[in-house]
Amino acid sequence: MELSKKLGARLKELRIACGLSQEQLGGEAELTRTAIGAIETGTANPTIYTLSAICHALKISLATLVEPITADMNLKPTWLEPSALRRRANGAKPVRKDTATARGLH
């Protein structure tokens, strides 16, 4: 299971165990219901600050939230995959002025 989906499933499990709706959790964590839903479905990539706010609202530690994530999961960056899209190199070349032009002596 993909990391974001595993994290989302764990969040949903803990939210339900606390008896909170997505809207209630969002209100406590100062997030929208849709933000909570996106994290739970694995379509959002929350920051550590967002996860910390959620954990505070659930009255759990961050370690409890990420507990099911183990070292044997494939966490290598996507750019290491040969099939991953590569960012195009910047082909712009700076315009260089010769010294006389730069000094206005031309």
* Domains along the chain with CATH numbers: 3-80 (1.10.260.40)
Residue at 49: amino acid letter = Y
The interaxial angle of helices 48-58 and 33-41, nearest 10 deg, is 110
**pLDDT band, residue 46 (cuts 50/70/90):** very high
- Rounded mean pLDDT of the chain? 82
SS3 66: coil
Residue closest to 57 by CA, chosen among 80, 26, 79, 83: 26
Cα(68)–Cα(62) distance, integer angstroms: 12
Residue corresponding to tokens 């082909």: 91
| Segment 51-103, tens digit of pLDDT | 999 999 999 999 999 988 776 665 566 555 665 555 556 666 766 666 665 55
Residue 44's pLDDT is what?
Answer: 92
